[in-house]
Structure 1
Amino acid sequence: MSTKKPVFLVTGSDLAPQALALLGDYEVVYAGRTPSEDDVVALCRQHDPVAIIVRYSKVGAAAMDAAPSLKVISKHGSGTDTIDKAAAAARGIQVVAAVGANAAAVAEHALALLLACAKSVVALDARMHAGHWDKATHKSVELEGRTIGLVGLGAIGLRFARMADAMGMRVLGFDPYAKDLPAYVQSVSLDTLWREADAISLHCPLTADNARLLNAETLAQCKRGVIVVNTARGGLIDEPALLAAVQSGQVAIAGLDSFAVEPMTAGHPFQAEPRITLSPHIGGVTADAYVKMGVAAARNALAVLHG
């Protein structure tokens, strides 16, 4: 009788030790720092995992077909748009996510981007390092009394809403699935949110229905000089439309942590636009969130396997 342990495939190069401690009955195989879809398929074919913990790359039907023992695909995070959920459902494979595990980290990063935009942190830093002193000429945006519009009121959106409310901001939110909202969040339609928000922050999953939610038409409905923050998914924004809106002044400044194609390659138009503050999709990447997401991903997968 074979004593070989069943395999967990991790589409990344590591997993928190606290998560690994939960997987002692399994062999853990890593796909590397930047695995391609083909790499994942090849590893599925080689190891026939019972579970995949998804950190990077996409997991589609080809990977699932290459792993006949596969029972569960567990996201190391909350967004499952990189997993072909329809293909998984058709094959009886459960898809689970570590919902809320990185909520504090992402909400804090969204707030950091909002503040960086409103207070011109990046531009002023560059000016100071170049020897300038702009005290007599610069004026930042005061957020107290301004309106923030949140698209998505899940764990991250609601945590961000609480911080915005604490700063004295009026909080508008759109989420057709949210219930029992706190009193400081006013549920509105998207049309109202576009029209009334001084700043917009995206916190919803990417779906076929909301791809390019922020586009030329919706950006034109916003207040002139609106601030845009996105720590969710890059596909929620029509990137050429946002760039045009920034260049025209319709959008005063944007803070972005996610992009339509990742990693961003050299020569992307955003890189030459100083009114767009960029970070490399690290909103949920903290030492604490790394542990929380790893443990949740492992526990979620084990819950399915031990069903």
Structure 2
Amino acid sequence: MTRPVLLVTGADLAPQALALLGDFEVVYAGRTPTEDDIVALCRRHDPVAIIVRYSKVGAAAMDAAPSLKVISKHGSGTDTIDKVAAKARGVAVVAAVGANAAAVAEQALALLLACAKSVVTLDRRMHDGHWDKATHKSIELEGRTVGVIGLGAIGLKFARMADAMGMRVLGFDPYATNLPAHVQSSDLATIWRESDAISLHCPLTADNAKLVNEKTLAACKPGVLIVNTARGGLIDEDALLQAVRSGQVGGAGLDSFAVEPMTAPHPFHGEGRIVLSPHIGGVTADAYVKMGVAAAANALAVLRG
């Protein structure tokens, strides 16, 4: 008797996650699968479940897998899954919410500090033989205000780190309740107006695409720092680049981009006040295990009713 198939849209899964999936034949899509690859694998194997690591899963993939019951995200963001199509076909969509929260919040803090302390620029100058002590001044974050947009597991963990550094924390999330005392609930207008730094931790939706744009950046304090470890589509990249070049944005730390992998050359390349990382905020050895186990457990919970 053949085992039901579980498709992983990636090249691997943590051994601890695989240990939960002994009743299934696990099929891997490879390191960089395309949407067409996913559709072809669904047609060939008719999986009952898909664990989504990379690429998108749309209506075509679902139609190619009539036995499909659940799509489980290896992480917290489900924007790469067509949830409307899934609902129409009775396919559950679940996410490993919070599994990578520590990893992503730490990356956001690292990017904020890199911008405030000019870590990348000073490192490069030092390696070139310069000693800029007499001419450089960094930004002290204690006592400054950070706006946190999105107060899920990641945003709240980042907010706690910022509070521990002595920052005033403004938070915006229309769905968040029972906020901790160190997060001051605010509207977006207040966050644009009062924040010295802004960190994005919200999902990408049709309503908030290009939330950070020419108009909202103009409403910010001159020299504001922008950090994005959420989704690239939250930022109008052209507007951000112009704001960095004009000095309206003092620095940007970015871990996600409108198009991924980032095309080369890219307008951000060579901009000294933009610190880049390749969407690796949630990629740690610990998070790899946590997300894999949560994704597998979530899928099993649906399949077993």
| TM bracket (short chain) | over 0.9
Find the counterpart in structure 2 of residue 239 from structure 1: 237
* 1:143 lines up with 2:141 in the alignment: yes
Aligned-pair CA distance for 1:273: 1.1
Cα distance between partner residues in 2 of 1:218 and 1:265: 26
Aligned-pair CA distance for 1:277: 0.2
Cα distance between partner residues in 2 of 1:178 and 1:102: 19
Give deviations 1:28-85, integer Å, cap 9, x for gaps: 0000000000000000000000000000000000000000000000000000000000
Give deviations 1:233-289, integer Å, cap 9, x for gaps: 000000000000000000011000000000001111011211100000000000000
| 1:279-294 to 2 correspondences below 5 Å | 279-294=277-292
Find the counterpart in structure 2 of residue 28 from structure 1: 26
Q: Secondary structure at the match of 1:266?
A: coil
Find the counterpart in structure 1 of residue 155 from structure 2: 157
Q: TM-score, normalised by structure 1?
A: 0.99
| 1:1-307 to 2 correspondences below 5 Å | 3-307=1-305
Q: Secondary structure at the match of 2:108?
A: helix
Which aligned runs of 4 or more in structure 1 are off by greater than 6 angstroms? none
Cα distance between partner residues in 2 of 1:255 and 1:70: 39
Aligned-pair CA distance for 1:104: 0.2
Amino acid at match of 2:290: K
Q: Secondary structure at the match of 2:268?
A: helix
Q: Secondary structure at the match of 2:40?
A: helix
Cα distance between partner residues in 2 of 1:100 and 1:237: 23
Gaps of 5+ in 1: none
Q: Secondary structure at the match of 1:228?
A: strand
Q: Secondary structure at the match of 1:270?
A: coil
Cα distance between partner residues in 1 of 2:181 and 2:304: 40
Q: Secondary structure at the match of 1:271?
A: coil
Amino acid at match of 1:95: V
What RMSD over aligned residues (CA atoms) do the two structures have, in Å?
0.3
Cα distance between partner residues in 1 of 2:119 and 2:273: 11
Amino acid at match of 2:56: K
Cα distance between partner residues in 1 of 2:144 and 2:204: 27
The percent of aligned pairs where both chains have the same amino acid is: 84
Q: Secondary structure at the match of 1:161?
A: helix
Q: TM-score, normalised by structure 2?
A: 1.00
Cα distance between partner residues in 2 of 1:151 and 1:244: 22
